[in-house]
Structure 1
Amino acid sequence: MTDTNPIPARLAALKTMSGAELKKQWRALFDTEPPLFNRRYIETRLGYRIQELTHGGLKPETVRRLQDLGEQLDGGNIATRRIRTDLKPIIGTRLIREWQGTEHCVTVTRDGFEWQGRPYKSLSAIARTITGTRWNGWVFFGLKHHRRAA
């Protein structure tokens, strides 16, 4: 018996397509311009879309349930929603940074961060308070490397 399901072959083909071919496929399947995300994101979304068009998408009640869970998780705050939870350190993690001879300790909390007993929504706000200048908090605390111009 031969497998006549074209889905696995179409999914495997995504890995070997050029960037231009992926963008063309995106336009054909979504009828929009492709986003400016990395290749892996585009491949996974295309893979899902191919299967969705063949087998159908999520049931409306499943979509509603996921939206409800998302609201419970982030309280409807769009800024929080945009922060990928797998990038945020585990609750209770202590971030330590020395600045001008003073050691600063930030604790990751459920709702954000705490520094000197005061809650903050972002690391950038803490870095700004410490330095008096605008900083990317993730860079300041060493969680993300700042890309320097060549």
Structure 2
Amino acid sequence: MTTHDPIPARLAALKTATTLELKAQWRDLFDTEPPPFNRRYLESRLAYRIQELAYGGLKPETIRRLERLGEELDGGDRKKSRMRADTMPIAGTRLIREWQGVEYIVTVTADGFEWRGRPYKSLSAIARAITGTRWNGWVFFGMKNRSARK
């Protein structure tokens, strides 16, 4: 006796669904209003949620471990450190900051930043490594005015 798994078909159907249909599915699966993000984001989150509900999600200890690793790499809350792609400096841009008489150079990469040959996902993590204290990386490197911070 063969059982048919409907999940692959549901995932494939996301590609041909209208945006309105995707938003309706979001409401059903998350019980919240869909975020104002692009279609690709909606599709990927819906695909994950469909599989999570059918097959089970991550174990709590896995989630905690990922959060700890994220903190180590990013130096803070992902929601706060996330920056819109259209305001991100172009890959290859060098950010230079003098701190306590020492010049620090960070290179913007396609997926984050590089400092001292090591990849970083956020400027805040680099600023924290340099200063030993929490900083908004964009403020530290002069990319955002401190008074604009909320």
TM-score in terms of structure 1 length: 0.59
- Higher CA-based Rg: 1
Inter-CA distance 62–78: structure 2 relative to 1 (3 Å threshold):
closer
Q: Name segments (4+ residues, structure 1) moved above 6 Å.
A: 87-90
Inter-CA distance 8–127: structure 2 relative to 1 (3 Å threshold):
closer
C-alpha distance in 1, partners of 2:80/2:144?
19
Q: State the match for 1:39 in structure 2.
A: 39
In structure 1, runs of 5+ residues without a counterpart are: 97-105, 113-119, 135-150
In structure 2, runs of 5+ residues without a counterpart are: 97-103, 107-114, 121-125, 128-135
What secondary structure, in the 3-state scheme, does the structure 1 residue paired with 2:25 have? helix
Shift of 1:61: 0.6
C-alpha distance in 2, partners of 1:53/1:33?
18
Q: How many residues align?
A: 113
C-alpha distance in 2, partners of 1:128/1:59?
38
Shift of 1:94: 2.9
Partner deviation per Cα, 1:25-70 (whole Å, 9 max, x = no partner): 0000000000001000000000000000000000011001001111
Contact kept, 8 Å, 2:26 with 2:32, in 1: the verdict is yes
What secondary structure, in the 3-state scheme, does the structure 2 residue paired with 1:4 have? coil
Q: State the match for 2:69 in structure 1.
A: 69
Inter-CA distance 2–63: structure 2 relative to 1 (3 Å threshold):
same
Q: Which amino acid aligns with 1:9?
A: A
Identity percentage over the alignment? 59
Q: CA RMSD, aligned part only?
A: 3.8
Equivalences for residues 11-50 of structure 1 within 5 A? 11-50=11-50
TM-score in terms of structure 2 length: 0.59
Shift of 1:89: 7.0
